[in-house]
C-alpha cells in the first residue's frame, strides 16, 4: 500500500496533468512518485460486412504511422459510450445501432491513471465523417477472417487495438457463430 505524503501538480495541459511528490510505502519508507492524470478514453471496434474498420494515422509519440481503433478522450460531462459513438462518427463515418461494452483497461499503471473502455459496434449506418481539424486519418479495414492470423503475427502494435480485436474475437466465439456472425442483427 502507498499513500501520498505530499504532492503537487507540476503540469496541466489540455490532455493530461502531471502530479509529482512523495509517497509513504507499506514499510514506512518514502519514495518519489510521478503520476500522469488523464480523463480516460473510449475506443470502438466497428464490424460490418465481415470487416472491421480502423484508422491509420501518424503518431508523433512513436514517430510513425499506426493502424488503430477509432478512439478519443472522454470529454467532461460525457460517458464512455457517448465518447465511443462520437469517435465512431467523427473518425470513421458510422453510427451504430448497438454498442457492446467489452472491456476496460489501464494503459500503464506504473505512472498513468488513464482507463480506456472498449466497445464493439454493430448495425452500422454510414454517415458523414467529421474528424477534428488537426486529425489526419485514413480509414482502413481488415477482414474478420484475417484477424486471428494477423494478431498471431503481431501485425498490430497499439494496445487498445490488440485488446479490442481479441475482445471482438472472444465475443464472436461466445455467440456460437464464430467469424461468420451476421453483424447486422
Do 15 and 73 belong together in one domain? no
Phi, psi for 173 (deg, rounded to 5): -65, -40
How many other C-beta atoms lie within 10 A of the C-beta of residue 173?
12
* Confidence band of 185 (pLDDT split at 50, 70, 90): very low
**42 close to 74: Cβ distance less than 8 angstroms:** yes
Q: Residues with Cβ < 8 Å from 32, sequence gap 6 or more? A: 20, 21, 22, 23
Average pLDDT over residues 82-91: 96
Residue 79 shares a structural domain with residue 170:
yes
State the DSSP code for 34: E
Half-sphere CA count of 83, side-chain side, radius 13 A: 21
Note down the domain range covering 113: 42-177
Distance of alpha carbon 160 from its chain centroid, rounded? 4
Please, which pLDDT band fits residue 174 given cuts at 50, 70 and 90? confident
108 domain residue, yes or no: yes
- 78 and 56 in a common domain: yes
Do residues 104 and 169 share a domain? Answer: yes
Helices H / strands E in the chain, number of each: 3, 10
Number of domains in the chain: 2
Residue 184 within a domain: no
- Mean pLDDT calculated for residue range 52-76: 95
86 and 29 share one domain: no
Q: What is the pLDDT of residues 88-146, one digit of tens each?
A: 999 999 999 999 999 999 999 999 999 999 999 999 999 988 777 777 899 999 999 99
Whether the full predicted model's pTM is greater than 0.85, yes or no, is yes
In a domain? residue 183? no
Given its phi and psi angles, is residue 28 left (phi above 0), alpha (psi -120 to 50 degrees) or beta? left
Any residues with CB less than 8 A from the CB of 61 and at least 6 apart, and which?
none
Tell me, yes or no, whether 144 lies in a domain: yes
Amino acid at each position: 500500500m502507498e499513500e501520498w505524503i505530499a504532492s503537487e501538480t507540476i503540469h496541466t495541459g489540455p490532455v493530461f496533468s502531471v502530479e509529482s511528490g512523495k509517497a509513504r510505502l507499506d514499510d514506512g519508507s518514502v519514495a518519489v512518485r510521478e503520476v500522469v492524470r488523464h480523463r480516460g478514453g473510449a475506443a470502438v471496434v466497428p464490424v460490418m460486412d465481415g470487416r472491421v474498420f480502423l484508422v491509420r494515422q501518424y503518431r508523433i509519440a512513436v514517430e510513425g504511422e499506426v493502424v488503430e481503433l477509432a478512439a478519443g478522450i472522454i470529454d467532461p460531462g460525457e460517458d464512455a459510450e457517448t465518447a465511443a459513438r462520437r469517435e465512431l462518427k467523427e473518425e470513421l463515418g458510422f453510427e451504430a445501432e448497438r454498442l457492446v461494452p467489452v472491456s476496460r483497461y489501464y494503459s500503464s499503471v506504473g505512472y498513468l491513471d488513464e482507463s480506456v473502455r472498449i466497445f464493439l459496434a454493430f448495425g452500422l449506418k454510414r454517415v458523414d465523417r467529421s474528424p477534428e481539424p488537426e486529425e489526419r486519418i485514413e480509414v482502413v479495414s481488415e477482414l474478420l477472417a484475417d484477424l486471428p492470423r494477423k494478431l498471431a503475427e503481431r501485425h498490430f502494435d497499439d494496445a487498445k487495438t490488440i485488446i479490442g480485436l481479441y475482445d471482438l474475437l472472444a465475443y464472436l466465439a461466445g455467440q456460437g457463430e464464430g467469424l461468420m456472425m451476421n453483424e447486422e442483427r
